[in-house]
Structure 1
Amino acid sequence: MGSFIGHLVPGTAFSIFGLWFAYCTLHRFFLCSRVAFMNGNKFVGKYRSTCSFTCPCCPTVPLEGIIKILASVLAISGEFVTAFEGGKFEHLGNAQHMMMYFFFVIHGVADLAVHYKAGVPPDVDYLTAACAFFMESLLFFTHLHGRPLMDIQVHTFVASVALLCGFAMLLEASFKNSVVPALGRAFFILLQGTWFLQISFLLFSPLGTYFDHNSHEHMMVVTCIFTGHVALALLLMVLLGIFCHRRVGNMPPTTAYHTLHSHALSGTFSKFDSVQVKHIIAGSDEEDP
């Protein structure tokens, strides 16, 4: 919905998911690097990305997929309810928003299917995520006819970042042993989230706005603000990287191996690697006083 809340809610959701993906990716990468260094074996500790991550508090429950489905269904419900005026479905823009969220529901279902090994094709979770972002980009590109110039500008930025999110998902699916596409995915999702939050204050601020939505000079300022969000997303990821590097570096060897083994059980690594990690854990436990 074209309102302050309508942009604040997805902005918050994308920001949280972006930070979550960045943290989990960086933590896993540094953990894999440390275990590989300690063991001197290129197979044990080999980094491998996954489309979703398990929560340490309940690793057997696909919380991420469940949250994606519930949040998207609630968003669809909100768009549907607010689309009516005078008993008629008047706001067609809400229908586009509903379709956008529907594709994220499909992605959440794919996450659950992959987690429970429901016999779905490989990488269907990556494919549905890429499809959701591509559909979001398409819907936003065709969502701006007749709007003020600044409105068109800020949503064009959203559509462009969503498109990059989709490409990052496809690259990550193709190069699972490289951390770069995974970090790209986290970065673009985080950037999309912070920019949605910014839009809510640029276009619908409850405190009032000093921007002329048809002023070229003000649009130039908005472009500078967007580049600031790019810098902010990079800074946040660097800080997360420093935090994860120090956290993994301060882990006792046994804790690092046990954590890696938990990833192996959740499907991050192959069964062969999991067996190797079990032997390493047993050895490291014997060495501990």
Structure 2
Amino acid sequence: MPSSFIGNALRGTFFLIFGLWWSVKYPLKYLRRKANADDAASYGTQRLEVLEGTVKAFFALAGILAEQFAPPGPHMLLYSPETHSWTDLTPWHYTTMYLFFLLSGVVEVVSHSPLKLPLGLDRLALAIALLIEGLLFCSHDYSEAALDSHLRGLLAIGIFAGALCTLLEVFIRDHFVLELFRTSSFLLQGSWFWQMGFVLSPPWGGPGWDPTDRGNFVFLTMCFCWHYAGALAVMAVNSVASHCCNESCQLKFGDIDVELDCGLCIRKGKGSRGALLPEGGPDDK
């Protein structure tokens, strides 16, 4: 898919979905770790990781198909024998980007399968995908499109910051601050892809922003900072919402699990075995 508003919007949505999901997932995971410091990763958590990897691989595969076969995509044609030249390489750039995110999703699924791959391999695959994405943006031929180059240069900052953070997670696993920083980088990338679409190819038609106006460069640099501030604000709101949801669940259920099939309440005391309590009071016959 060429560099159009729809193309940038779809790429931005890919990163926003994961950024928004992580902005809820990691605060809840942190709160659960605080409440159960000695508990290992549960089976449900591993299944959630597998689902996340599957969704990532699915979206990446959909992105590859859209880049290649949506009009006027290259339809898997890289070199034209008629013109003896390369075809439009922009869709191939994005196809390559999606390919490594597809591999990242596959590695994440396999890492939490019974194969038990080395811990951190999923983060390494994601870091490589981000590094490849940043490399592709830095090597893109912008010709005389100075404004396009400036927009993508700002985007590369967020990409490489996320790649560095993810690379650190290979060695420092389950670090809440690193997880939040990676989340903010994905939110930043997602919203900035949308911004690029509005600047370069407005959805209402007409030309993009004037590339000869230096004021546009200054404003967009400030706007990039505002996008990151917005990402932090979204994370703060979702973290508070996660905390309130966690507190609400504790107030409603506490440490009681209800077994509907046998009509008994099992109260789990910390450091002690559960005690079975009948449904009725002590005076019931």
Question: Normalized against structure 1, the TM-score is what?
Answer: 0.78
**Contact preservation (8 Å) 1:79, 1:94:** yes
State yes or no: 1:193 paired with 2:181: no
What are the Cα deviations for residues 79-106 of structure 1, in whole angstroms up to 9, with x where unaligned? Answer: 2223339x85621121111111110111
Q: 1:130 pairs with 127, 130, 137, which one? A: 127
Larger Rg: 2
Distance 1:189 1:247 in 2: 24
In 1, distance between residues paired with 2:208 and 2:68?
A: 31
Q: Is the 8 A contact 1:248 1:256 kept in 2?
A: no
Displacement of 1:12 in angstroms is 0.9
Structure 2 match to 1:111: 108
Which of 162, 165, 168 is 1:165 aligned to?
Answer: 162
- 1:20 maps to 21
The one-letter amino acid paired with 2:123 is Y
The one of 199, 202, 207 equivalent to 1:202 is: 199
SS in structure 2 opposite 1:122? coil
Cα distance in 1 between the residues matched to 2:170 and 2:137 = 25
In the alignment, the residues of structure 1 paired with residue 117 and residue 97 of structure 2 have an alpha-carbon distance, to the nearest angstrom, of 23
- 2:3 aligns to what SS in structure 1? coil
For 2:92 and 2:181, the matched residues in 1 are separated by 30
Following superposition, the deviation at residue 255 of structure 1 comes to 5.2
Deviations 1:205-230 (A, max 9, x none): 12246721232111111112111101
Preserved contact between residue 254 and residue 284 of structure 1 (Cα < 8 Å): no
Alpha-carbon distance in 2 for matches of 1:76, 1:228:
30
Distance 1:287 1:255, change over 3 A: same
The worse-fitting range, judged by mean Cα deviation, of 141-150 and 186-195 is 141-150
User: How many angstroms does 1:195 deviate by?
Assistant: 0.7
Aligned residues: 256
Change (3 A) 1:92 1:44: same
Q: Distance in 2 between matches of 1:201 and 1:134?
A: 25
Higher helix proportion (structure 1 or 2): 1
User: 1:73 corresponds to which residue?
Assistant: 61
Post-superposition shift, 1:76?
A: 1.2
Matches for 1:31-180 after TM superposition, within 5 Å:
31-33=32-34, 35-36=35-36, 43-44=37-38, 59=47, 62-81=50-69, 82-84=72-74, 88=80, 90-180=87-177
Cα–Cα, structure 1 residues 288 and 165, in superposed 2: closer, same or farther, change >3 Å? farther
2:219 pairs with one of 218, 221, 228: 221
CA distance in 2 between partners of 1:288 and 1:21 (Å): 41
* Inter-partner Cα distance in structure 2 for 1:186 and 1:177: 13
2:147–2:217 CA contact under 8 A, matched in 1: yes
**Shift in Å, 1:235:** 0.5
The answer on whether the counterparts of 1:54 and 1:64 sit within 8 Å (CA) in structure 2 is no
Identity %: 26
Alpha-carbon distance between aligned partners in 2 of 1:150 and 1:173, rounded to the nearest angstrom: 35
Q: Is the 8 A contact 2:202 2:208 kept in 1?
A: no
Map Cα deviations across residues 118-149 of structure 1 (whole Å, 9 max, x no partner): 24332111110000000000000011431411
Contact 1:11 1:196 in 2 (8 A): yes
CA distance in 2, matches of 1:240, 1:74: 28
Q: Structure 2: where are the runs of 5+ without partners?
A: 81-85, 258-267, 280-285
Q: Is the 8 A contact 1:31 1:45 kept in 2?
A: no
Q: Is the 8 A contact 1:148 1:214 kept in 2?
A: no
For structure 1, the residue ranges without an aligned partner over 5 or more in a row are 37-42, 260-277
The answer to whether 1:251 aligns with 2:268 is no
Task: State the distance in 2 between where 1:256 and 1:210 align.
Answer: 56
Q: Is the Cα–Cα contact under 8 Å of residues 74 and 91 in structure 2 kept in the other structure?
A: no
Checking the alignment, whether the CA contact within 8 Å between 1:161 and 1:188 is kept in structure 2 is yes
Call closer, same or farther: CA 1:213–1:223 in 2, change over 3 Å. Answer: same
How much is the aligned-residue C-alpha RMSD, in angstroms? Answer: 3.1
Change (3 A) 1:177 1:123: closer
2:173 maps to amino acid: K
Name the CA distance, whole Å, in 2 between partners of 1:281 and 1:205: 61
Greater RCO (Cα-Cα under 8 Å, separation 6 or more): 1
